[in-house]
Structure formats: structure tokens, C-alpha cells
């Protein structure tokens, strides 16, 4: 017996819009099921699928868990994701970090790390 990590579930006020946004950011295909849940399909080797579930409440505090992404070019990815509608957020950074903290359109924090050298 044991556990296998199968999917990430993300609550969203507008699951359709947020799922489509992340689909664009990640370049992953998505679909919407009969319940209105949005599933992003991770390419082989890229991790697990993401499911966006509609909830009535807004996010009001800092995430207790967040996602980190390692790009080939940090600045290019930060610029691209900001242009898609992300925003910079301050969670107490000092300013000399090697990562950039952003939030998606519903305020979920995530980091774009420095590229591997």
C-alpha cells in the first residue's frame, strides 16, 4: 500500500478563466468537465495534472503552499507572465533574492526562480 501524487486541485472564483490563464502560462492543453472543473493536462514528465474547482469565496491571505518554476531565462519569463496578467507581490522579500514572487489573476502566489547556470 502507498500513496501516489495524482493531481493538484486549486480553488478559484472563476475556474474557467483561471484554468485558461494557467493553460496559457504553462502551454498545457485544458478541458472543462461536466461539473465546470477545468483540468490542465501535464505533458509526460512535467508533473501531475492541475484541476481548477469553482468556489464562492475569494482568496484573502498568503498561500500556505505555492508553486516554484525554473525557467531557461528568468527575466523573459517574468516579463511574459506579467504581460499575461500576473502581478508582482511583496511577501517580505529583502530585494536580493534569486527568485521573483508573482501572483496569478486571483492572487495565488508563485515564484519564478533563477535559471540554472
pLDDT bucket at 37, cuts 50 / 70 / 90: very high
Name the more confident of 116 and 99.
Answer: 99
Going through 30-90 in order, the beta strands assigned E by DSSP cover 30-32, 38-40, 49-54, 67-69, 87-88
Q: Which residue has the cell 501531475?
A: 48
Tell me the average pLDDT across 8-20.
96
Per-residue pLDDT reduced to its tens digit, 55-109? 999 888 888 899 999 999 999 999 999 999 999 999 888 988 999 999 999 999 9
31 shares a domain with 70: no
78 shares a domain with 37: no
Least confident interval from 7-11, 28-32, 63-67: 63-67
38 shares a domain with 77: no
Identify the CATH number of the domain in which residue 89 sits. Answer: 3.10.180.10
Going through 38-94 in order, the beta strands assigned E by DSSP cover 38-40, 49-54, 67-69, 87-88
HSE-up (13 A, CA, CB side) for residue 61:
2
Least confident interval from 34-43, 54-63, 104-113: 54-63
31 shares a domain with 5: yes
Query: Of 39, 56, 73, which one is at a domain's C-terminal end?
Result: 56
In the chain, the number of structural domains is 2
Query: Of 56, 72, 103, which one is at a domain's C-terminal end?
Result: 56
68 shares a domain with 46: no
50, 40 Cβ separation under 8 angstroms: yes
Residues spanned by the domain of 34: 1-56
pLDDT bucket at 117, cuts 50 / 70 / 90: low
75 shares a domain with 43: no
The model's pTM: 0.91
* CB atoms closer than 10 angstroms to residue 59: 16
pLDDT bucket at 116, cuts 50 / 70 / 90: confident
Amino acid at each position: 500500500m502507498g500513496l501516489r501524487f495524482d493531481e493538484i486541485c486549486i480553488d478559484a472564483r472563476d475556474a474557467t478563466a483561471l484554468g485558461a490563464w494557467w493553460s496559457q502560462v504553462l502551454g498545457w492543453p485544458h478541458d472543462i468537465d461536466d461539473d465546470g472543473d477545468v483540468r490542465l493536462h501535464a505533458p509526460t514528465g512535467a508533473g501531475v495534472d492541475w484541476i481548477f474547482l469553482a468556489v464562492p469565496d475569494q482568496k484573502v491571505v498568503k498561500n500556505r503552499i505555492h508553486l516554484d518554476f525554473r525557467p531557461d531565462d528568468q527575466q523573459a519569463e517574468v516579463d511574459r507572465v506579467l504581460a499575461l496578467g500576473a502581478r508582482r507581490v511583496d511577501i517580505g522579500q529583502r530585494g536580493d533574492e534569486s527568485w521573483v514572487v508573482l501572483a496569478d489573476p486571483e492572487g495565488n502566489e508563485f515564484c519564478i526562480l533563477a535559471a540554472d547556470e
